[in-house]
Amino acid sequence: MKRLADGTLPSLAKGVRQPSYDRSRTRIGFAHIGVGAFHRGHQAEYTEDALEAGADDRAEIGINLRPPSIEDQLSPQDGLYTRLLVGGDRTEARVIGSIRKVLDAARGHAEAIAALSHPGIDVITMTVTEKGYCHVPATGALDWQRPEIKADLQQATGRQSLPGFLTEMLARRMAANAPLTLVSCDNIPGNGAILKAVVSDLAEAVDRPLAAWIADNVRFPSTMVDRIVPATQAEDLKRVEELTGVVDKSVVVGEPFRQWVLEDDFNRRRPRWDIAGAEFVRDVQPYEFIKMRVLNACQTALSYLGALSGLETSYDAVCDPLLRSFAEHMISDESSAVLPDVPGMQVAPYLKLSLSRLSNPAIRHTNHQIATDGSQKINQRLLQPLRDRMAQGLPSPLLETAVGGWVTYLAKSQPAFGAAWQANDQIMPFVADTARASAGDIEAFAKLFVGNRSIFGETLAGDASFASRVASSARALMKDGVAKALGRTMAQPVAAG
């Protein structure tokens, strides 16, 4: 079978949508760093829609800072790939053409820096996961202790971390007097402000005039991005082959729902993503609060409690009546009291929509995937609403139980607690030390763990009664199992929010 490429587009199976515009007449005006499944399933399609509508002439260059190699996946395909939307009885394959060129910075660092420094590029978006920003989750400041930041401080070129790579590139743009807009599309609250902080902090340390130039010439709008796009599985590639009649090594599978809200802060021509429904607003924060504290919070709670229940995916978890009811109550009885009122995103209908999106049987988002990097996700999803409630004197037994779920999930990855699975998170050395120090005692583990200030922040890390509540829910989850532990928590009367 032939591989998807410009030359094989005419042989695509009937009904498979493909670019209706002339790709060779587009110009590379955008770049994206971190061309993973999420980018291909989200922002790249907004760009495709703008190109297709003839509203914008800017296509993109995609750069990966780390493996997997994007050149191997997309260069033989001229940047083309299929995105499959699945949901209900809908299956819709579309070949996307908005990525014109790709580069792996690990193979050609200088080439990647040169490409991004090109003055023709005026917007660079990025999805590098939460940990890519090298910030301290509880404060948002650059984490000077990260080994990659320490290494980047020593060199002017060849920098490897995202902040390092961007400052190296921005120095080139300063020389060319080419202002630009850097758009973070990761799930961290105030992602634009965090990106600005880590880049400016590093620039300040290595090159003061550059820091001043950045302050005047680079914009960092915050954004809220949304579409569920799990990691692609081998069976997805097969399915697309059958549907399209060509081989595609860069397939993505996602749900039909999508949303993108961006702070209206671009210093050159604003992209026409609004053609595809993106909204440019003055303040993104209320939108990201709702999304992270409802949809993402449910995903996170269900991933830990689901994995502890032996369930594979978020779909399996949300189909379990007790887990579903737990997630529903956690939001409506607790988080909702500390959520803003956003037109079109009122909590009750948004929660209903979120649970119905998670109930899409065609989306196989594994609990272990969502559980990955909890230390980077927990703050905005569970701890912030918890702190906000505490500040108002409100109890949060369900949010605390979800935190207990996280703690138990991490503990169970350790030999002292049965080594049930491998957990992936940069804090695993700390988890291992904590497990050794607590010698199989889950309550001791939880109390030590919750004392970590860079994860829990001053208020929670110093609160002994919070630590003992989390410890007793971890004990119940570990010793009695999820069903009993949740059943008990939910039977207790909850103070109204």
Residue ranges in contact with ligand CS2 by CB under 6 A? 187, 226-228, 296, 299, 369-370, 377
Q: What is the DSSP string of 389-414?
A: HHHTT---HHHHHHHHHHHHHHHHTS
User: What number of helices (H) and strands (E) belong to the chain?
Assistant: 23, 12
Q: Which amino acid is at 359?
A: S
- Judged by beta carbon, residue 372 or residue 468, the one nearer ligand CS2 is 372
Shortest distance (Å) from residue 293 CB to ligand CS2: 12
Please tell me the distance from the alpha carbon of residue 359 to that of residue 188, in angstroms, as a whole number: 24
- Judged by beta carbon, residue 97 or residue 254, the one nearer ligand CS2 is 254
- Judged by beta carbon, residue 200 or residue 380, the one nearer ligand CS2 is 380
- Judged by beta carbon, residue 317 or residue 370, the one nearer ligand CS2 is 370
Shortest distance (Å) from residue 42 CB to ligand CS2: 8
- Judged by beta carbon, residue 169 or residue 371, the one nearer ligand CS2 is 371
Shortest distance (Å) from residue 40 CB to ligand CS2: 14
Task: Give every CB contact of residue 170 below 8 A, 6+ residues apart in sequence.
Answer: 199, 203, 210, 213, 214, 218
Task: Give every CB contact of residue 339 below 8 A, 6+ residues apart in sequence.
Answer: 289, 290, 293, 294, 347, 385
Tell me the backbone φ, ψ of residue 164, rounded to 5 degrees. Answer: -65, -45
Shortest distance (Å) from residue 379 CB to ligand CS2: 13
Tokens (6 digits) for 22: 């002339």
- Judged by beta carbon, residue 157 or residue 424, the one nearer ligand CS2 is 424
Quick one: which of 495, 292, 289, 478 has its CA closest to 396? 495
Under 8 Å between Cβ of 186 and 130: yes
Task: Give every CB contact of residue 391 below 8 A, 6+ residues apart in sequence.
Answer: none
Shortest distance (Å) from residue 350 CB to ligand CS2: 13
Shortest distance (Å) from residue 367 CB to ligand CS2: 10
- Judged by beta carbon, residue 117 or residue 354, the one nearer ligand CS2 is 354
Shortest distance (Å) from residue 5 CB to ligand CS2: 29
